[in-house]
Amino acid sequence: MRGLMQDYPLTLSHLLYRAERLFPYKMVASRGPAGMLRYTYAEMCRRVRRLANVLQQLDVHAGDRVGSFAWNTHRHLELYLGVPSSGAVLHTINIRLFPEQITYIINHAGDVVLFVDDSLLPILEQLAQQLRSVRAFVVMTDGPLPDSSLKPLYSYEELLRNASDEFAFPPLDENTACGMCYTSGTTGPPKGVVYSHRALFLQSIIQTMADTMALCERDVLLSIVPMFHANAWNLPYAGTMVGAAQVYPGAHPQPEDLARLIQEERVTIAAGVPTVWISILALLQQKPYDLSSLRCIVCGGAAAPQSLIEAYDRLGIPIVHAWGLTETAPTATVSVPRRHMLSWPPEQLRAMRAKQGPVLPALEIRAMDDGGREVPWDGKSVGELQLRGPWIMSEYYNDPRTPEAFADGWLRTGDVASIDADGFVQITDRAKDVIKSGGEWISSVELENALMGHPQVLEAAVIGLPHDQWQERPLACVVPRPGQTIDKADLRAYLAARFPKWWLPDEFVFLDAIPRTSVGKFAKGDLRARFEGYHWP
């Protein structure tokens, strides 16, 4: 039987069409060295068409990889839209990786042109001689072309000024590659994930659903999560699709910058990792900012402590917990309470919201034990989360490690979790971070979340270290709140009321700060290296 629907490709160039036709008056605001830059969607789309002409002048062809080495700015948004719509592939490069990792992923992706923020030029200048495929560098700055050893070097603004704003975007197959991100590479070199137009288009639609993020035209969106990390959780695309006003925090945003942007731009939805919201919360205790415009905070990248959710509840700002991976393009679950949960006592409801939530429409999820058996959805049994669906990656880019990432066609996430009867996922740990003590499992995440609920604790990370008798035991690394001195016995008693005795950390160490990964998560690998050879008291 012949299909009854038109074969219309789901491509990102459609977002430009909608932006131009439906939302030409909507605003984009971008924080820069000279203050806030503001322009309309109509102006943005004209610049994107100029960018597409520039790519042709730079001899960029369909399928070529174009790298971006940049902060969250309006120019980066233009690359998000212009590069894929022209048929090329945007490779967003994590600026916080080690130099050898940056070199590896640029060479492995085969980037032909690199667009770089002027403040980041020194990093690439050190690597330029090792970049085998790059034919040109384009610096994104408001000022004149800086003096640099990168050759040939072009000015983004000058190229756009001299280009036509007339460009007919080519028809593309929705399964064409449009974007590329690399995992941070905790073991071995980073692994590349390629996204199709269809995957990111579907993800954009999903993020507008009421039971996910409910992103809509009335919103003012602040993407704090870096645009070089998992496509900023796809929010720039979803925001453009619905015509939301968009705010970009620029280079090196600090908690005070973010709080001021929320206050002054009247942001309604903002997205970032828990450490960002912990820092902003600490700032609010010292200096008042008006964050009342926020209707929700999207929090992901790591488990959001229940104490953090409670703290923002007191401010009247709900946290919406989301979870995903670079390999899931990126969102896979979002925690929005069901109708029957709304009558629950606040503490019970908050505990449910602290879970990662049910799997999104079109995806399938399961948790598998070590024997390869699916565990029941009882909220207690744990196993490795596995996923399949239309925006789940099918392979790593030119990487022999692909087979180990899959089981019977299901993506192995490396996250250990339970799934309850309502389908709500609760991540208990990364497989590599679970602590095995005396043949039993201890969740470092649950201990961390509990510790960060203590009134004198700012941050906490728990790691497992070798133990002669028990194989591993937990060590708690704790950052006190400013001006606070914490008693170890008090912390132990605080946890003892919540966990069995054998879960309790054998020791607490106090640090000035918890090291972070390139995307703002706690760097537990660094902590394990720091305490290698640790002698238990």
212 part of the active site: no
What's the full length of the chain, in residues?
Answer: 537
* Structural tokens at position 462: 């728990």
User: How many C-beta neighbours within 10 Å does residue 26 have?
Assistant: 20
The span from the CA of 461 to the CA of 448, in Å, is 6
Angstrom CA distances, 400 to 102, 103, 132, 238, stand at: 20, 19, 22, 33
The span from the CA of 42 to the CA of 243, in Å, is 11
Say which of 344, 374, 432, 436 is annotated catalytic. Answer: 436
* Structural tokens at position 413: 């996430």
User: How many C-beta neighbours within 10 Å does residue 154 have?
Assistant: 18
User: How many C-beta neighbours within 10 Å does residue 132 have?
Assistant: 10
Pairing of strands 35-40, 89-92: unpaired
* Structural tokens at position 230: 């998992």
Say which of 73, 103, 141, 183 is annotated catalytic. Answer: 183
Task: Mention every residue, 6+ apart, whose C-beta is less than 8 A from residue 138.
Answer: 54, 58, 113, 114, 115, 116, 153, 154, 155, 156, 159
- Identify the burial level of 166 via C-beta atoms within 10 angstroms of its C-beta, where 0-12 means exposed, 13-18 middle and 19 or more buried: exposed
327 part of the active site: yes
183 part of the active site: yes
Grouping H, G, I as helix, E, B as strand and the rest as coil, residue 392 is coil
* Structural tokens at position 234: 């796809």
The helix (H) or strand (E) run that includes residue 462 is strand 457-467
Say which of 374, 432, 441, 536 is annotated catalytic. Answer: 441
The helix (H) or strand (E) run that includes residue 108 is helix 99-109
By the 8 A CB rule, do 274 and 308 touch?
yes
The span from the CA of 97 to the CA of 112, in Å, is 20
Grouping H, G, I as helix, E, B as strand and the rest as coil, residue 432 is coil
Query: Can you state the percent helix, strand and coil of the chain, rounding each to 5?
Result: 30, 25, 40
Q: State the DSSP code for 66.
A: E
**Nearest one of 210, 187, 209, 79 to 405, comparing CA atoms:** 187
Which residues make beta-bridge pairs with 299? 272, 321
* Structural tokens at position 51: 């960018």
Say which of 327, 384, 446, 459 is annotated catalytic. Answer: 327
Q: Is the peptide bond before 358 cis (omega within 30 degrees of 0)?
A: no
Grouping H, G, I as helix, E, B as strand and the rest as coil, residue 262 is helix
323 part of the active site: no
Quickly list DSSP for 325-373. -GGGSSEEEEE---GGGTTS-HHHHHHHHTS-BPBPTT-EEEEE-TTS-
Place of tokens 């006003």: 245
End-to-end CA distance of the chain: 74
Residues designated as active site: 183, 327, 436, 441
